[in-house]
């Protein structure tokens, strides 16, 4: 069992859950109808933990069960932070001893971006309206533009693309 190093709670109920698109049907007379589908269920609040095994786990606070394990870090996850109230975009950030910050979509729980630029372990994270700040054991603070983080959406890596760095 891996030791838990970080915790953050996220109220995902304010995040708009995207419904799958309905398929249009064409009647014999040529008219097109789109069937009504029920709205998607609201996203439930989650608790996230970062561990020595390099994973971030998503927990249901009501049932105390792990509902997903987010993998990608190569060393222990030291710090977690999330956009306020699920934010826009709704993101969870994890900082690790592997010197990276990962951005995770709070809808899909998948990695949308890996931020690189620190020379040592990432020990601190803070999320603002337009950026996320990461602090490292290398005595630097980097600011990452949120609009650039969601642009990739595919877990791609940004090599040192911090908007600003203080060392």
- Would you say residue 16 has pLDDT above 50? yes
Greater model confidence, 7 or 123: 123
What's the pLDDT score for residue 90? 87
Greater model confidence, 47 or 41: 47
Task: Please check whether residue 109 is in contact with residue 55, taking contact to mean a CB–CB distance below 8 angstroms.
Answer: no
Greater model confidence, 90 or 71: 71
Mean pLDDT of 82-91: 76
What's the pLDDT score for residue 83? 87
Quote the pTM value. Answer: 0.77
- Exposure letters 16-50 (e unless 16+ CB within 10 A, then b): eeeeeeeeeeeeeeeeeeeeeeeeeeebeebebbb
What would the pLDDT profile of 93-109 be if each residue is shown by its tens digit? 999 999 999 999 988 99
- H-state helical runs in the chain: 146-149
Question: Cα–Cα distance between 2 and 25 in angstroms, integer?
Answer: 52
What's the pLDDT score for residue 159? 46
Nearest to 114 by CA among 68, 155, 69: 155
- Would you say residue 26 has pLDDT above 60? no
The per-residue pLDDT of the chain, averaged, comes to: 80
Greater model confidence, 87 or 23: 87
What would the pLDDT profile of 138-167 be if each residue is shown by its tens digit? 999 999 988 878 654 555 555 445 566 666
Greater model confidence, 44 or 76: 76
């Amino acid at each position: 069992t891996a030791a838990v190093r970080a915790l953050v709670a996220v109220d995902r109920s304010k995040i708009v859950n995207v419904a799958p698109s309905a398929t249009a049907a064409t009647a014999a007379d040529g008219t097109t109808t789109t069937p009504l589908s029920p709205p998607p269920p609201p996203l439930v609040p989650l608790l996230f933990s970062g561990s020595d095994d390099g994973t971030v786990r998503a927990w249901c606070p009501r049932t105390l069960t792990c509902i997903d394990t987010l993998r990608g870090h190569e060393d222990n996850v030291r710090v977690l932070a999330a956009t306020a109230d699920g934010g826009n975009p709704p993101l969870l950030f994890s900082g690790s001893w592997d010197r990276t910050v990962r951005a995770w979509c709070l809808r899909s729980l998948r990695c949308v971006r890996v931020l690189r630029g620190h020379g040592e372990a990432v020990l601190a994270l803070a999320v603002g309206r337009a950026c996320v700040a990461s602090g490292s054991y290398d005595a630097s603070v980097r600011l990452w533009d949120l609009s650039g983080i969601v642009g990739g959406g595919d877990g791609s890596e940004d090599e040192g693309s911090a908007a600003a760095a203080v060392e």
